[in-house]
Amino acid sequence: MAKTSGVGITTLSIDDSAGTPRDIRTDINSFDLATPRGVQDTTGLDVSGMERLLLLADASISIKGVFDPAANLAHSVFRTVPSTSVQRTVSFAHAAQTLAMEMVFSDYAMARGQNAELTYTAPGALANGAVPTWA
């Protein structure tokens, strides 16, 4: 497979609070996706190099976009973040690589810029202990 740019992401859907997946790519300007592992330092006094163990897997996403009050788009998905405690399936696909995770969203922050732009940020974190696995 050849290297690709971020143009043409085929899937970035997030469940609304009722559990219905919503394709909100049209309202997203950018996102950060991370799948880190914990690391434990196990270096003993008897060695000159670092020793480490890999620990639990995690995942996070931070979505940034433009406010859009249309039905079944980003505002419709995230407006319930402050009032509901539900896990949401986040599905991402690009260049035949997919990642689906159950996540909790902890904020739906709105910002109005000096130039009158109205944007949002929505951070999510792994919810159910399942290891994020690319397919």
Q: What is the pLDDT of residue 4?
A: 87
pLDDT of 134 over the 90 cut: yes
pLDDT at 6: 85
Buried b (16+ CB within 10 A) or exposed e, 101-122: bbbebeebeeeeeeeeeeebbb
Local structure of 52: helix, strand or coil: strand
What domains does the chain contain, in order, with CATH numbers?
Answer: 11-126 (2.40.30)
Predicted confidence (pLDDT) per residue in 48-91, tens digit: 999 999 999 999 999 999 999 999 999 999 999 999 999 999 99
User: What three-state secondary structure class fits 74?
Assistant: helix
Residue 2 has pLDDT above 70, yes or no: yes
The pTM of this model reads 0.89
Biggest CA-to-CA distance, the chain: 63
pLDDT score of 8 more than 90: no
